[in-house]
Amino acid sequence: MSRELTPPPRACIILSTLNAKYIHASLGLRYLLANMARHGGEDLRACSLLREFTIARPPQEIAAALLAELPAGEGRQIIGFGVYIWNLAQTTAVVRLLKAARPTLKIVLGGPELSHEWQQQEIVQLADHLITGWGDVSFPKLCRALIHGPQPLQKVIAGEQPPLDEIELPYAEFSAEDLAHRLLYVEASRGCPFKCEFCLSALDKTAWAFDLDFFLGELDRLYARGARHFKFVDRTFNLKIEASLRVLQFFLERLDEGLFLHFELVPDHLPERLKAMIARFPPGVLQFEIGIQSFNPEVQQTISRRQDTARTLANLQWLLQESHAHLHTDLIFGLPGESLESFAAGFDQLYAIGPHEIQLGVLKRLRGTPIARHTAAFGMLYEETPPYTVLQTAAVDAATMQRFKRLARYWDLLANSGRFKRAMAMLCQGPSAFGAFLAFADWLWQWHPDTAGKTSGLRPEVLLDALFDYFTTQRGEEREHVRQLLRADYLDSGARSNPRCLSGLLGDRAAPQPMATKRLRQARHVAD
């Protein structure tokens, strides 16, 4: 006869993480919370709390807030932390404070940052248990053992990967406040069949899809509650076209002014049926994140990245010409074997097509990723602390790496922001758009009095004045022509200040029209 399991009156479980920004709502914690009522035992959902913070909040405040949630006295109390590359240092400080204040508190860790190469991590030494990999089933089981016994003997527990139909979906755990103010992450599948060595998904054997009828039913309930902003975290949304078509059709049937959808696309897999569906969406709804990473075939081969470049370029051109989707494309600098010159050639190839945004990333050696096998052969040197960014390679020295990081920051402020469309078009004229912008970035860092030595805290007005100075003193452009061009950019951006270079040109301006924040950056990229 089995005994009935009930948690002690003072048992309490807190699920917590430190998000990069408030707008991010942790999908992983909500999976854990939803599954506290399943997997072998009584419902622990009733004594479980979800508490999220941001990395900007002082660790002392976070620790105090968590302790205030726990019952006073000798209860069996557990706090589980989701640990990522962006919150490792801050979460370590919080755990240190918690264990000092309440040594009997059980700290359980999980997340991608601690699922590999965890042996020397201080936070693991401070905590009681670590679950590596999937935690949907393993975390509830561990909590039951900690509350009822027998106490687990292992500190590090390999997460159990169940069939997806045994995992409770998390979407009911999004609160009304989440729906109103935060970014909602959803996933129709997990895993990835590709083996790009810079990505943790290279360790997956394949991709696994959730039951689509059940998943769409959950999305329908979210939509009925008012959710309109969905960010799909599937690594390969367009891997299986039938599923992609059903998801897009689901949203086509629910189009309204507030709907916004973000998907990651495989760039060289866009069959005609999917194109036809994409073309039916109006402006402002679809955003596609498309990882190009490198156009260098030797680099692609080195990092085990399969990509048909000709088809990728053709698909990008089709999306830009025949659809209203906003294209956010990604390139990575510092990959093994990639030089500044070969990266520039790839950048120019992409820039010529004209995607709305080109995100310039720098390689990071995430713990557990296969990219580590190239360290010696390609002279890869990385930061020892998060985010483990590459410092130099055999093809790129340290000074050039720093030079590129500055360029990437300026590119985001000037090009990706959409504030300076006309100015960027003029700036990047010539045989190499990358070379032209690099020259400007070097000048901005070294010579302009308002920007020298700075890559942050640069207001649009400062950048506008810097552009004026560069065009007129370094490029020999006619002053009044430049002023009129910059004036048009500035008025289109909706800014309301008074840049020095536009003195006397702005006059009376109508108040800028209100625009949803999530679409503001996109709207600036819309063609005149």
Per-residue pLDDT at 10: 46
Report the candidate in 420, 67, 367 with the shortest Cα–Cα distance to residue 200: 367
Per-residue pLDDT at 42: 60
Q: Tell how many helices (H) and how many strands (E) occur in the chain.
A: 18, 16
Per-residue pLDDT at 506: 87
Per-residue pLDDT of the chain (528 residues; tens, 9 = 90+): 344 444 444 458 999 999 999 999 999 999 999 999 875 556 798 889 999 999 999 999 999 999 999 987 656 899 999 999 999 999 999 999 999 999 999 999 999 999 999 999 999 999 999 999 999 999 999 999 998 889 999 999 999 999 999 999 999 999 999 999 998 999 999 999 899 999 999 999 889 999 999 999 999 999 999 999 999 999 889 999 999 999 999 999 999 999 999 999 999 999 999 999 999 999 999 999 999 999 999 999 999 999 999 999 999 999 999 999 999 999 999 999 999 999 999 999 999 999 999 999 999 999 999 999 999 999 999 999 999 999 999 999 999 999 999 999 999 999 999 999 999 999 999 999 999 999 999 999 999 999 999 999 999 999 999 999 999 999 999 999 999 999 999 999 888 888 999 998 987 655 445 444 445 567 667 544
- pTM recorded for the entire structure: 0.92
Domain layout of the chain by residue ranges: 12-164, 183-396, 397-528
Residue 504 tokens, joined:
């006397």
Q: How far apart are CA 29 and CA 46, in angstroms?
A: 15
3-state secondary structure of 109: strand
60 burial (CB, 10 Å; 0-12 / 13-18 / 19+) is: exposed
CB-based contact 388:364 (threshold 8 Å): yes
CB-based contact 350:290 (threshold 8 Å): no
Q: How far apart are CA 105 and CA 83, in angstroms?
A: 18
CB-based contact 232:261 (threshold 8 Å): yes
For 92, 464, 501, 506, the CA distances from 497, given in Å and listed in that order, are 42, 11, 12, 10
* CB-based contacts of 99, cutoff 8 Å, min separation 6: 105, 107, 126
Q: How far apart are CA 311 and CA 318, in angstroms?
A: 10
**Fold (topology level) of 183-396:** pyruvate-formate lyase- activating enzyme (3.80.30)
Q: How far apart are CA 348 and CA 354, in angstroms?
A: 10
293 burial (CB, 10 Å; 0-12 / 13-18 / 19+) is: buried
CB-based contact 131:15 (threshold 8 Å): no
Report the candidate in 265, 374, 361 with the shortest Cα–Cα distance to residue 315: 265
Per-residue b or e along 346-360, where b marks 16 or more CB atoms closer than 10 Å to that residue's CB: bbbebbebebbbbbb
Cα four-point dihedral sign 462, 464, 468, 473: positive
Q: Give the amino acid at 525.
A: H
Per-residue pLDDT at 149: 87
Q: How far apart are CA 195 and CA 238, in angstroms?
A: 17
**Fold (topology level) of 12-164:** Rossmann fold (3.40.50)
Per-residue pLDDT at 205: 85
Per-residue pLDDT at 516: 47
Q: Decide whether 12-164 matches 183-396 in CATH topology.
A: no
Can you list the pairs that 57-64 forms with residues at least 24 positions away whose Cβ atoms lie under 8 Å?
57/18, 59/90, 59/93, 59/94, 59/97, 60/97, 62/18, 62/90, 62/94, 63/94, 63/97, 63/98, 63/101
Per-residue pLDDT at 527: 47
Token pair 């078509």 is at which residue? 245
* CB-based contacts of 55, cutoff 8 Å, min separation 6: 18, 19, 20, 86, 87, 90
Per-residue pLDDT at 39: 55
Q: How far apart are CA 525 and CA 322, in angstroms?
A: 16
CB-based contact 108:135 (threshold 8 Å): no
